[in-house]
Amino acid sequence: MSATLLLVQALNGLQLGILLFLLAAGLTLVFGIMNFINLAHGSLYMMGAFIAATVFRHTGSFLLAAAAVVAGMALLGLLLDRIALARLYPREHLDQVLATFGFILFFNELTRIIWGPAPISMGLPSWLSGTIDLLGVTYPLYRFLIIVAGLAVAAGCYVLIHRTRLGMLIRAGSTDRMMVGALGVNIARLNTLLFVLGAVLAGVAGLMAGPILSAQTGMGEPILILTLVVIVIGGIGSVRGAFLAALMVGLIDTLGRALLPALLRAMLSPAAANAAGPAIASMLIYIVMALVLALRPQGLFPVRHG
């Protein structure tokens, strides 16, 4: 494989990792601090993609689509939290799993009713559809901007968690939420803020993925599985862990799919290598997760206490 193709695949892996981080950051905060298992997190990603595609098709403005996603997902997250999910926070994990699985079915049917079964392509404005030269390699401008925007969001999450009072409460809540409540902090309001933040991040991931994958019913379930893998590898409740593990998973998945078929051709026929390579690459991230669970169950980058 040429150095140029390797660099392109590494950038694609970084882009996938950034999208996974946007999903994993919100989900790991909700799970790590609120102790709430939200299987419908992928559905929020899907709703963000549909909102973005709809607004863009009617206005032609990517910026308006982005603003609509942030506002719409914040409102949707608030409504979900206040109407339904707040009652599930003190319940057992099995109740949370069953209820949020029901929301997956609900949102899938909702998108079919509103938008129909066919995928909705989003497209890009002319100012985002060009290319950029990176170290002598021509790379799509939009994919590069996904990486830049994701890194900016990661920096913003770091500042929020480590440099603000809300971040102090989030970190304290991840250590001992009962003590934080005893000190007079409104835990219900903190939970709502966390859930809304997670919904917005998931919606932004859907916005970014829309022009590449199109908005389609059921698109949230496959990426939810990868997101859960990221959380296990990085450490539950750790945004830093979610970021590093997401980049790791993105690079392993993308580079594995690109490199393994070429390596297997030395031992197998081209047809067999092309079939086995992507399958083995897909298994690699789960093998890594299994090794992490066996050797370091708390994750590679767990929350730092104290």
Q: Which domain holds residue 206?
A: 10-295
Domain-embedded: residue 210: yes
pLDDT computed for residue 229 by the predictor: 92
Q: Above 70 in pLDDT, residue 188?
A: yes
Q: Over 80: is that where the pLDDT of 128 sits?
A: yes
Assess contact for 239 and 25: CB atoms under 8 A. Answer: yes
pLDDT of residue 44: 95
CATH number at residue 128: 1.10.3470
Residue 306 within any structural domain of the chain: no
- Span 274-293, pLDDT tens digits: 778 778 888 889 999 999 99
Average pLDDT across the chain, whole number: 86
Tokens of 126: 């002319």
Judge whether 150 lies within some domain. Answer: yes
Q: Which residue has the higher pLDDT, 197 or 303?
A: 197
Q: Identify the residue with better confidence: 123 or 52.
A: 52
pLDDT-derived band at 238 (thresholds 50, 70, 90) equals confident
Task: Reply yes or no on whether the pLDDT at 183 is more than 80.
Answer: no
Average of per-residue pLDDT across 222-228: 91
Bridge-based pairing of strands 131-134 and 137-140 is antiparallel
Q: Is residue 2 part of a domain?
A: no
> What pLDDT, on the 0 to 100 scale, is given for residue 138?
86
Q: Domain tally for the chain? A: 1
Q: How confident is the model over 151-162, as pLDDT tens digits?
A: 898 888 888 888
In sequence order, the 6+-apart residues with CB closer than 8 A to the CB of 115 are 50, 54, 215, 217
Which of 119-128, 132-141, 162-171, 196-205 holds the top average pLDDT? Answer: 196-205
What pLDDT is recorded for position 245? Answer: 92
Q: What is the pLDDT of residues 95-112, one digit of tens each?
A: 999 999 999 999 999 999
What is the rounded distance in angstroms from the CA atom of residue 225 to the CA atom of residue 298?
19
Residue 3 within any structural domain of the chain: no
Question: What's the confidence (pLDDT) of residue 305?
Answer: 54
> Does 304 fall in a domain?
no
301 domain residue, yes or no: no
Specify the pLDDT at position 1.
57
Predicted confidence at residue 165, as pLDDT, reads 83
**Residue 160 placed within a domain:** yes
For the segment 208-222, what is each residue's pLDDT rounded down to a tens digit?
A: 998 888 899 999 999
What whole-number distance in Å separates Cα of residue 249 and Cα of residue 237?
18
**pTM for the full model?**
0.89
**Closest C-alpha to 190, from 27, 33, 32, 5:** 33
Over range 130-141, report the average pLDDT.
84
Query: In this model, does residue 175 exceed pLDDT 70?
Result: no
Task: Give 258's pLDDT tier (boundaries 50, 70, 90).
Answer: confident
pLDDT for 27-83, tens place per residue?
887 887 777 888 999 999 999 999 999 999 999 899 999 999 999 999 999 999 988
Evaluate the CA torsion angle 196, 202, 204, 210 in order and state its sign.
negative
